[in-house]
Amino acid sequence: RPLGNSSAPASAPAGASAHVASVEAPGPAKAAPKPTADKAKLQRKISSVMRRIEHAEGLLQEAADAMNDEYSEETLAAYEAANANVEEMYETMQALEDQLAMS
C-alpha cells in the first residue's frame, strides 16, 4: 500500500505539469502575432537600423575600395570613419534587440 500511495502522488504532479505546459504553450504563440505597441515600435526601429546598416556597409565597402585603389591619409580616414559608423549602428541594433527581448 505505501508503494501505491507514493506512485500516485508522483504521477499526479507529472500529469499536472504536463497539463500546465500544454496550456501555457498556446499563450505565447497567440501573443506573438499581436505585439504590444512598445514591441512593435522596437521592431520598427530595429528594421530601420538594419536598413541603415546595409547602406553604411555599402559606404564602408566603397571606402575600402578607394583605400585599396589609392592609399592615403584621406582614404584611410574615410574608411575608419565609415567603419566606426557601422560599428556604432551594430551597437544600437544590439541595444534595441536587448530591449525587445526584455519587453
Residue 72 is classified by DSSP as: -
Q: Which amino acid is at 41?
A: K
Taking the CA atoms of residue 44, residue 95, residue 98 and residue 36 in that order, the dihedral angle to the nearest 10 degrees is -30
Rg for the chain (alpha carbons), in Å? 26
Identify the band that residue 59 occupies on the pLDDT scale cut at 50, 70 and 90. Answer: very high
pLDDT digits (tens, 9 = 90+) for 28-50: 555 555 557 889 999 999 999 99
pTM (two decimals): 0.60
In this prediction, residue 10 has a pLDDT band, given cuts at 50, 70 and 90, of very low
Name residues whose C-beta falls within 8 Å of residue 59's C-beta, 6 or more positions apart in sequence.
82, 85
The pLDDT tens digits of the residues spanning 60-79 come to 999 999 999 999 999 999 99
Res. 19: pLDDT tops 60: no
Domain positions in the chain are 1-34, 35-103
- For 35-103, give the CATH class: mainly alpha
